């Protein structure tokens, strides 16, 4: 192609195939194709990353940075790389670009000026991989504490209870004798210390480092306000065990009077090493772990992971996509989960506003009915572990015994389809209407939420906000429509969108989405009837342990809390035992929190918990 | 009644006046003390992870902990009797948890809810995970499950009530806060290069000194015979490991234990002296 041909007036209209060509022509010595087997996208020279990224965003229109994560290729290429997935908010596929760095003195320029949403993700890469990001204004650890020894996600870093690279461990299988890990540890605990540890010079930096760069003005720097009063800045810690933080989340807030000057989220209190454990696990071992990410909507997490691995498997020769009935059941589960999650989220938002537990109890009562269905189908109320690569674990049972529908203490036995029909046509819509009737016009709720926690559309996109947070700000972006998966293309539903970008609109959009979900579920019911008796698994004799070819994939779904993405890399021996080389979760709760600081600035301290509640975070996913 | 010699009440044959018939119940002090305590256990309002969701579901209308006097969840540790450790305890989070535990007034109880809080659960091998909250604070009831169902949590709460029912005022080991004084606070862990339990300082120091002499650091060398057996026979290896673990912890805690025992005995004798004087 010549320059004239690939320099159209609106490069934003190029599809993803041409985009790589455009970049290669514009930056011939900085951009080249990623030619590794099973990989896609372009590799960018790290010295010119910022320049190319600006072109990607401004000229090509990839204004939404979905995921940025690091991979350590120790022993394969002896380098580390950052992988970025950028999208257009008008829809379509990703532009995948990568920047590589040697493992020693790893350094990649920060993209925070191009996409502010890279903030936390770069801090995470610094924390877990030790990659430095020149240009990042606040580069410190985010999940571990300051002062922790080493960068644990590096392939050569071993944890205290390290046994072996791959599961299943020899000590458990096939001979089957287990040994407790603490028996071999001198301290009887999950700890290891550097051998040059000097206890007499031990200092705990974990707290003091939080306050560095916060401009602590306590008794030092009086700030005159408009009335001429001299007031001190005050630092308030909310959390990590504060009941309104929805888990173990902490906010360090600098106050000027009652107004928030600065808010810094502190997380990692539930960092349970999902990704490191995930890299030791075999592919299907990770499915139950995904349940525990966003533990209110485990079914949706399952779907995202199943799709990511199915994309990888599709690179190989022997792969059959999930059957139609499997997809129908998957959508049924996911949309029920969405309703459950939003009922819960609205209930707890109202908790934060002061309506202590009364609205929540309405939501929880409805949730129990859905959980009874999940329990009958998958065997567990919350941690369903239901989806498999190529289908689902089991077909729906014939009958359901539901204790949530007790009449005179009698457990009732239902026909499954009848139970579902009643739930979808009657019970759930009634619960949604009930919320609507009791809450939407409440004067107190309006006074507390309208105009509070404002997030404009440009900022929501820039901060990579996702889900109701993004759509509440007027950006009609929903992965189900933007990059459709499963059977969503044939279903009739609207992407809910609201334009005011405040807490009230985020509340309303959850009601809208629940109504849309009910609309989808009503279309699912006849499909369930029609496919009765068909296969729910496309694989061979329900062999769940797949052979995954070498390559990378990024599977993403619209979770109730936003876009949930799984970035997986397979480098395994196609014949031997296999596990993910890299297993990264792009958690919506984590990245949505990037916008929390800017949203709270200038608000009253009493509104912080409400703003946090309107984002609807869950800590299992935030900290992973 | 004023002329009644109260010592007569000890007589089981003492006649109950007609007007009080049906209004008097005779029980032991321990029983009524325990009954009132166990019927109003106020849990602390804080959740850690997935189990917290089931804890909330248990407190909600369908399962309803208020049937057991436990619906009053307090956000302040100063007002709570029970800490339900509901979820994975990370190294970063165990510091605030120990601090919260120290702030709770006695009598206080701890429930380890779920696999993670009991022993690390599915996340045990994680580098930031504490494999069981009982490594730092004493636990009264363990509830298995991942997460435990609300029924399991209720069963755990009832087990705790049974435990309280069995405590006797006469036994100072059961109710040390009653007369002997508050127990020692649990030392708060330090976040250094890895988490450091202050009770293990001496052991860590010894290990560091050994490492300076070129010995293996942080790895427990089981006797060669034990290692050999371990590979072949499960049961024997388990026993050897358990013995080794028992001796190691005994060395660490001996001084503290002796000091505490001494303090308790002293307080007991003081109390006895007071009683005999009266």
Instruction: Catalogue the E-assigned strands of A239-306.
Output: 250-256, 259-266
Output the CA angle B252-B253-B255, nearest 5 degrees: 105
**Are B82 and B109 within 8 A, CB to CB?**
yes
Does B220 lie at the interface with A, CB-CB under 8 angstroms?
Answer: yes
Give residues 130 to 149 of B whose Cβ lies within 8 Å of A.
130-131, 135, 146-147, 149
Q: What is the mean pLDDT of chain A?
A: 84
Q: ipTM value, please give it.
A: 0.87
Q: Cβ–Cβ contacts within 10 Å for residue A544, how many? A: 15
Number of CB atoms found within 10 A of residue A5's CB: 9
Count of helix runs (H) and strand runs (E) in chain A: 20, 17
| Contact at CB, A186 and B53, closer than 8 angstroms | no
Cα–Cα distances in angstroms (integers) from residue A241 to residues A73, A247, A401, B44, B94, in the given order: 38, 7, 37, 10, 11
The answer to whether B140 and B110 have CB atoms below 8 angstroms apart is: yes
With bands split at pLDDT 50, 70 and 90, how would you rate the model's confidence at B37? confident
Q: Do A181 and B234 touch (CB under 8 A)?
A: no
Q: Is A52 in contact with A111 (CB distance < 8 Å)?
A: no
Whole-model pTM: value is 0.84
What is the CA A212 to chain-centroid distance, rounded? 28
Q: Which of residues 77-106 of B touch A (CB under 8 A)?
A: 87-88, 90-93, 96-97, 100
CA distance A505 to A452: 10
Minimal C-alpha gap between B69 and chain A (Å): 17
Which of B78, B92, B114 is the best mutation test for A, with the most CBs of A within 10 A? B92
Torsion sign across C-alpha atoms A499, A503, A505, A511? positive
Selecting from A159, A242, A620 the residue whose C-beta is nearest the C-beta of B125 gives A159
CB B40 within 8 A of CB B11: no
CB–CB of B152/B145 below 8 Å?
yes
Strand partners, B30: none
Query: What sign results for the dihedral spanned by CA atoms A403, A407, A412, A418?
Result: negative
Q: Give the integer Cα–Cα distance in Å for A436 and A441.
A: 8
- pLDDT value of position A282: 86
pLDDT at A567: 92
A181–B125 C-beta distance less than 8 A: yes
Q: What share of chain A is helix, strand, coil (3-state, %, to 5)?
A: 40, 15, 45
**Interface list for A 127-156 with B (CB within 8 A):** 143-145, 147-149, 152
Residue contact A185–B218, C-beta within 8 A: yes
State the CB neighbour count (10 A cutoff) for residue A371. Answer: 21
- Residue among A160, A364, A383 minimizing CB distance to B127: A160
> Nearest-CA residue of chain B relative to A160?
B127
Distance from CA of B226 to the nearest CA of A (A): 12
For residue B173, pLDDT over 90 is answered with no
Residue pLDDT, tens place only, B91-143: 999 999 999 999 998 888 999 999 999 988 889 888 999 988 998 999 999 99
Chain B: residue whose CA lies nearest to A358: B60
| Residues of chain B positioned with their CB less than 8 A from the CB of A383 | 50, 146-147
Mutate to test the interface with B, among A141, A185, A187 (most CBs of B within 10 A): A187
Partners of B248 on chain A (C-beta within 8 Å) are 186, 188
Cα distance between the two ends of chain A: 45
pLDDT of residue A218: 47
- Residues in contact with A532: Cβ distance below 8 Å, sequence separation at least 6, in sequence order: none
pLDDT score of B69:
83
* Cα–Cα dist A117/A598, whole Å: 12
Predicted local distance difference test score (pLDDT) of residue A289: 92
- The residue of chain B nearest to residue A171, with distances taken between CA atoms, is B231
What residue ranges define each of the domains in chain A, with the CATH number in brackets?
11-129 (3.30.460.80), 274-623 (1.10.645.10)
CB pairs under 8 A between A and B: 216
The shortest CB-CB distance from B122 to any of A197, A289, A382 is to: A289
More confident residue, A270 or B13: A270
**Residues written for chain B:** 278
**CA-based nearest distance A190→chain B, Å:** 6
**Is the pLDDT reported for residue B71 higher than 70?**
yes
Distance between CA atoms of residues B43 and B75, nearest Å: 9
Residue length of chain A: 624
- Closest alpha carbon within chain A to B47: A247
Q: A526 CB near a chain B CB, below 8 Å?
A: no
Taking a C-beta distance cutoff of 8 angstroms, is the pair B99, B131 a contact?
A: no
pLDDT value for A4: 40
Contact yes or no for B126 and A272 at CB 8 A: yes
What part of A 411-440 touches B (C-beta under 8 Å)?
none
Q: What is the pLDDT of residue A432?
A: 92
Please, are residues A561 and A616 in contact by the beta-carbon 8 Å criterion?
A: yes
CB–CB contact B244 A202 (8 Å): no
B82: distance to nearest CA of chain A, Å? 15
* Spans in chain A with pLDDT lower than 70: 1-17, 174-177, 213-231, 317, 407-408, 539-544, 574-576
Are A27 and A52 within 8 A, CB to CB? yes
Q: b/e string for B47-75 if b means 16 or more Cβ within 10 A? A: bbbbbbbbbbbbbbebbebeebbbeebbe
3-state secondary structure string across B90-103: EHHHHHHHHHHHHH
Q: Domains along chain B?
A: 1-187 (3.40.50.12280), 197-277 (no CATH)
């Amino acid at each position: 192609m010549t320059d004239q041909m690939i320099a159209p007036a609106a490069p934003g209209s190029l599809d993803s195939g041409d985009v790589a060509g455009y970049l290669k022509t514009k930056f011939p010595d900085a951009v080249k194709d990623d030619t590794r087997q099973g990989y896609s996208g372009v590799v960018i020279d790290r010295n010119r990353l910022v320049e190319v990224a600006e072109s990607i965003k401004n000229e090509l229109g990839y204004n939404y940075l979905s995921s940025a994560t690091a991979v350590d290729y120790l022993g394969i290429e002896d380098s580390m790389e950052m992988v970025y997935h950028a999208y257009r908010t008008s829809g379509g596929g990703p532009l995948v670009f990568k920047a590589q760095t040697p493992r020693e003195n790893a350094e990649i320029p920060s993209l925070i000026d191009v996409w502010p949403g890279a903030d936390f993700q770069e801090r995470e890469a610094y924390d877990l991989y030790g990659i430095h990001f020149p240009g990042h204004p606040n580069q410190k650890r985010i999940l571990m504490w300051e002062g922790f020894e080493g960068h644990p996600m590096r392939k050569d870093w071993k944890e205290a209870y390290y046994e072996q690279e791959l599961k299943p461990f020899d000590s458990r299988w096939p001979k089957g004798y287990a040994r407790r890990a603490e028996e071999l540890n001198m301290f009887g605990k999950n700890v290891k210390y550097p051998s040059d540890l000097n206890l007499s010079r031990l200092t705990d930096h974990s707290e003091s480092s939080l306050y560095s760069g916060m401009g602590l003005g306590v008794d030092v720097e009086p700030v005159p306000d408009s009335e001429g009063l001299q007031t001190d800045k005050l630092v308030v810690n909310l959390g990590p065990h504060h009941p309104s933080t929805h888990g173990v989340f902490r906010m360090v807030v600098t106050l000027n009077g009652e107004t928030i000057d600065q808010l810094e989220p502190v997380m990692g209190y539930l960092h349970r090493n999902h990704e490191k454990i995930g890299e030791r696990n075999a592919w299907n071992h990770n499915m139950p772990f995904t349940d525990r990410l966003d533990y209110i909507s485990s079914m949706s997490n399952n779907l995202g992971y199943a799709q990511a691995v199915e994309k990888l498997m599709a690179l190989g020769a022997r792969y059959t996509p999930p059957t139609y009935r499997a997809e129908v059941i998957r959508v049924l589960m996911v949309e029920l989960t969405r309703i459950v999650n939003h009922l819960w989220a609205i209930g707890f938002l109202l908790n934060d506003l002061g309506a202590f537990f009364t609205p929540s109890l309405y939501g929880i009562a409805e949730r129990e009915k859905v959980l009874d269905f999940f329990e009958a189908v998958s065997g567990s109320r919350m941690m369903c572990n239901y989806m498999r690569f190529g289908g689902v674990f089991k077909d729906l049972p014939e009958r359901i015994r539901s204790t949530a529908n007790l009449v005179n203490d009698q457990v009732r036995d239902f026909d499954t389809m009848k139970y579902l029909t009643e739930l979808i046509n009657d019970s759930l819509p009634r619960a949604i209407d009930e919320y609507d009737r009791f809450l939407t016009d409440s004067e107190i709720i309006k006074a507390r939420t309208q105009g509070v926690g404002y997030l404009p559309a440009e900022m929501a996109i820039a901060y990579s906000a996702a889900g109701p947070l993004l759509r509440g700000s007027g950006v009609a972006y929903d992965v189900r429509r933007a990059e459709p998966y499963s059977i969503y293309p044939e279903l009739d539903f609207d992407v809910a969108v609201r334009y005011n970008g405040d807490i009230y609109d985020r509340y309303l959009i959850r009601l809208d989405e629940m109504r849309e979900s009910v609309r989808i579920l009503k279309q699912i019911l006849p499909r369930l009837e029609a496919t009765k008796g068909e296969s729910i698994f496309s694989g061979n004799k329900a062999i769940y342990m797949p052979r995954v070819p070498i390559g990378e994939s990024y599977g993403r779904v619209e979770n109730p809390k936003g876009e949930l993405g799984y970035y997986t890399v397979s480098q395994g021996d196609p014949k031997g035992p296999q596990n993910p080389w890299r297993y990264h979760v792009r958690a919506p709760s984590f990245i949505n929190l990037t916008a929390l600081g800017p949203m709270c600035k200038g608000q009253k301290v009493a509104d912080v918990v409400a703003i946090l509640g309107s984002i609807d975070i869950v800590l299992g996913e935030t900290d992973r | 009644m004023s002329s009644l010699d109260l010592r007569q009440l000890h007589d089981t044959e003492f006649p109950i006046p007609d007007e009080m018939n049906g209004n008097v119940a005779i029980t032991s002090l321990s029983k009524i003390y325990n009954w009132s305590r166990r019927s109003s256990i106020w849990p602390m309002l804080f959740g850690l992870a997935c189990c917290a969701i089931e804890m909330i579901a248990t407190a909600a209308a369908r399962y309803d902990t208020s049937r057991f006097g436990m619906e009053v969840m307090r956000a302040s540790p100063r007002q709570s009797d029970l800490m339900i450790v509901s979820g994975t305890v990370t190294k970063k989070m165990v510091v605030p948890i120990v601090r919260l535990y120290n702030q709770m007034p006695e009598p206080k109880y701890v429930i380890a809810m779920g696999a993670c809080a009991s022993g690390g659960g599915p996340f045990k091998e994680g580098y930031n995970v504490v494999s069981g909250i009982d490594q730092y604070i004493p636990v009264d009831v363990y509830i298995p499950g991942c997460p435990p169902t609300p029924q399991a949590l209720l069963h755990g709460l009832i087990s705790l009530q049974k435990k309280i029912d069995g405590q006797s005022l006469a036994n100072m080991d059961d109710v040390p806060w009653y007369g002997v004084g508050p127990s020692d606070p649990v030392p708060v862990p330090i976040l250094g290069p890895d988490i450091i339990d202050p009770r293990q300082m001496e052991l860590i120091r010894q290990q560091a000194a050994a490492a300076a002499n070129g010995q293996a650091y942080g790895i427990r060398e089981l006797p060669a015979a034990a290692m050999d057996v371990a590979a072949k026979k499960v049961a024997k290896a388990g026993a050897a490991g358990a013995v080794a673990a028992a001796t190691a912890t005994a060395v660490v805690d001996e001084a503290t234990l002796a000091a505490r025992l001494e303090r308790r005995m002293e307080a007991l004798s003081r109390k006895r002296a007071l009683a005999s004087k009266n």
